[in-house]
Amino acid sequence: MARLDVVETFHGLMFSGHLHTQNSLELALKFPFQDTDIIIASYPKSGTTWIQEIVTLISNRGDPHMSQTVPNWTRAPWLEHYYFSVILEASPTKTRVITTHLPHHLLGPALQGSKAKIIYVSRNPKDVVVSFYHFHKMANFLPEPGSFSEFLKRFLEGTLHYGSWFDHIKGWTSQTATMNNLLHITYEEMSMDIQGAIKRVSSHLQSPLLEDEVNNCVKNCSFSSMLDNKMANYTLVTEDIMDHNKGSFMRKGKIGDWKNMFTEELNQYFKSVFDSKMEDCILEFVWDEQDKDETNANESH
């Protein structure tokens, strides 16, 4: 199934036809979750692959064998992708780990009453849009991104694939008050204190680890380890689908790279939209490297 230029519109959102069909999206909304499932939810480019690695490592008490021998899309398959059920069946993990980019307003009904352990990972939206822009250049199943200012406009309007970042983050994080099976963690928190982040995730998954095991997780989920890990760095994906000459999935892995793309004018434009859309939201963000020691990234739990 190539369908690289096909776009599926589903509930008003666009999805790549290379990975999704109307049927796979419909099935995702009706998926019978089990209380033992682990669900990783995120807007694209927020640190999904990183959390997949962390969850795999925690489940294996820091032993990297599985994360280095099984592709991440097999050990933590995407709920909405057309091959999901086949892969889930073949997944070697003891506990099912399911990844999704779907917004909460679509997936909420299927999760109603479920005790599945959910991890929602978010990231400073300025770094998300920059990472997503570069990813559009290399991913042949996504449209050409055009100029960065055009791309940013579409991001802020919510018309890119997977829809509005604002709806996504507000939809999922608003559930933390009532769903104690939902952990919200940020890319910045993982960046600033990976040890602490791993402990929070392992405690949420009720998989406490010994200090040595935590240290092994830290070592094996570092940017440099994942950059070298074919099972996580997407180099197994063929050139026709991801053009590895145009970029690397494991691109920079940094906080604050937005500064290399945003002009002052784009920054003001971003701020005006962000301030109005996030008016009703108390989340705080780490905006750049300098901020990171001062800002409390643990927004809501």
Considering 18, 20, 81, 101, which one is annotated as catalytic? 101
CB of 189 to ligand A3P, least distance (A): 12
Residue 72 CA to residue 12 CA, distance in Å, equals: 29
CB of 121 to ligand A3P, least distance (A): 7
**CB proximity list for 280: less than 8 A, separation 6 or greater:** 170
CB of 203 to ligand A3P, least distance (A): 20
**CB proximity list for 291: less than 8 A, separation 6 or greater:** 256
Nearer to ligand A3P, 115 or 223 (CB): 223
With CA atoms as reference, report the closest residue to 81 among 168, 162, 173, 158: 162
What is the identity of the amino acid at 108?
G
Nearer to ligand A3P, 87 or 115 (CB): 87
Tokens for 162, please give them: 């997977």
Residue 74 CA to residue 84 CA, distance in Å, equals: 9
Nearer to ligand A3P, 87 or 114 (CB): 87
CB of 267 to ligand A3P, least distance (A): 18
**CB proximity list for 232: less than 8 A, separation 6 or greater:** 49, 52, 53, 67, 72, 226, 250
Nearer to ligand A3P, 82 or 249 (CB): 249
The residues that touch ligand A3P, with contacts defined as CB under 6 A, are: 42, 44-50, 127, 131, 134, 221-223, 226, 250-253, 257
Nearer to ligand A3P, 25 or 130 (CB): 130
CB of 223 to ligand A3P, least distance (A): 4
Could you confirm whether 101 is annotated as catalytic?
Answer: yes
Residue 34 CA to residue 111 CA, distance in Å, equals: 9
Residue nearest ligand A3P by beta-carbon distance: 253
Cβ–Cβ < 8 Å for 32, 96: no
Tokens for 195, please give them: 């040890």
Instruction: Give me the active site residues, please.
Output: 101
